[in-house]
Structure 1
Amino acid sequence: MTYALAIDGTPETVPGGTGLLLLHPSIGETDRIDTDFLKTDTDRFLVVSTRTTAREVSQKLEHYDVDESCADILDTLSIERGYSRRSKDHVSYVSAPDHVDGIVAGVEDFLERTDGKRRISFDSLTELAYYAGEDEALSAADRILELLDEHDAIGLFHLSTEVHDQAVLDEFATRFDGVIELSPDGTVDAEF
């Protein structure tokens, strides 16, 4: 299966199983790239959020006119922070943002119960590394990339260039099929 990409500087299409790393200076422009990625050539998508709650993800999708009927959200923050969790069919929860096994299981569950063209946005590996450590974040990326390959899906993983040193950025980058770098001025460079 091939997937269209609507991101400047990237190939027009990529095969199922492709993992993309989005390097960004701050979260400012990532929403635009993330939502363009999610609303293009997609039957279902999952947003794994270690940075914002499900409610905030829903607001972002609505703001950027992404069809929320195609969305699933895996919220890793609300339970730990004690927020009320509104029961919705398309929202699931993990007990804490450092619960890597729960996050990977949530991704696997989504991929096993859906079909067609599926995309995953992981926002963000930086937050996961903050809560669980860089080794756990690398392990989570490896495990999710295996699931994408197994289920013919694609994924976009966020990583901040302002937080990690170059050796860590390089360690993450080696795992992905493509690296998309967002500059502070909003320009995009991609390497596949």
Structure 2
Amino acid sequence: MDYELAIEGAPDTIPGGTGVLLVHPSTGETDRIDTDFLKTDTDHLLVVSTRTTAREVQQKLEYYGVDEEHAVILDTLSVERGYSRRSASNVHYVGAPDDLDGIVEVVREFLDTHDGKLRISFDSITELAYYADEDRARGAVEDVLELLAEHDAVGLFHLAEEVHDEAVVEGYRELFDGVVTLTADGTVTCEF
């Protein structure tokens, strides 16, 4: 199954099972790329957020016109920070952003229980590594990429380039089928 890709300079479509790495400056404006990825040619979507709360994700989706009816959100921050949590069928929580098994399990459950064209936004690898450490974060990302391949789904994974060692960034570039690079001035380049 092929998925349309609404990213400037990228191929028009990518095959199911494709993971796309979004490399950006830590202050880069990634919301437009992320939401264009999520709302194009999608039946159901999952946002795994290690950077913002479910409420902030919902506000972003609404602002950019992503159909929230088909969105599931995994909030990894609210429990640990003691924020109030709203129970909803489309919002899941794990106890802390370093609960990598819990995160991978929610991804697996989402992919197992939804049909059609499925997209995942993983925002972000950088925050995951901050809470868990580089090696464990890399292992979780590899697990999620395997799940995408098994379920013919696609994913966009955020990585703030200057926060990681060059070797770590290069390792992620090699791991993914496609790399979208966003520069500080807003220029987008793609390698697939």
Q: Which residue of 1 aligns with 2:36?
A: 36
Residue 109 (1) aligns with residue 109 (2): yes
What is the deviation of 1:29? 1.6
Name the counterpart of 1:147. Answer: 147
Equivalent AA in structure 2 for residue 155 of structure 1: G
The 8 Å contact of residues 20 and 155 in structure 2, kept in 1 or not, is answered as yes
Shift of the alpha carbon at 1:120?
Answer: 0.2
Contact 2:24 2:181 in 1 (8 A): yes
* Matching residue of 1:183: 183
Runs (5+) with no aligned partner, structure 1: none
* Deviation (angstroms), 1:27: 4.4
Match status 1:79 vs 2:84: no
TM-score between the two structures when normalised by the length of structure 1:
0.99
Name the CA distance, whole Å, in 2 between partners of 1:143 and 1:35: 23
Superposed CA deviations along residues 78-122 of structure 1, whole A, max 9, x for unmatched, are: 000111110111000011000000000000000000010000000
Offset of residue 28 of structure 1: 3.4
Q: Helix, strand or coil for the counterpart of 2:106? A: helix
Corresponding position of 2:2: 2
Give the % identical residues: 69
Q: How does 1:1-192 map to 2 (within 5 A)?
A: 1-192=1-192
CA drift at 1:170: 0.5
CA distance in 1, matches of 2:85, 2:29: 28
Equivalent pairs, count: 192
> Quick check: 2:35–2:64 contact (8 Å CA) kept in 1?
yes
Q: Structure 2 counterpart of 1:21, which letter?
A: L
Distance 1:28 1:11 in 2: 22
Query: How far did 1:26 drift?
Result: 2.3
Distance of 1:171 and 1:191 partners within structure 2: 15
Report the AA paired with residue 171 of structure 1: G
TM-score, normalised to structure 2's length?
A: 0.99
**Structure 1: how far apart are the matches of 2:27 and 2:178?**
19
- 2:16–2:153: 8 Å Cα contact kept in structure 1? yes
Q: Using the alignment, how far apart are the partners of 1:4 and 1:85 within structure 2? A: 34
Report the Cα distance in structure 1 between the residues aligned to 2:140 and 2:170, rounded to whole angstroms. Answer: 16
CA distance in 1: counterparts of 2:11 and 2:166, whole angstroms? 25
Tell me, what secondary structure is at the counterpart of 1:174? helix
The structural deviation recorded for 1:71 is: 0.2
Distance in 2, matches of 1:82 and 1:29, equals: 28
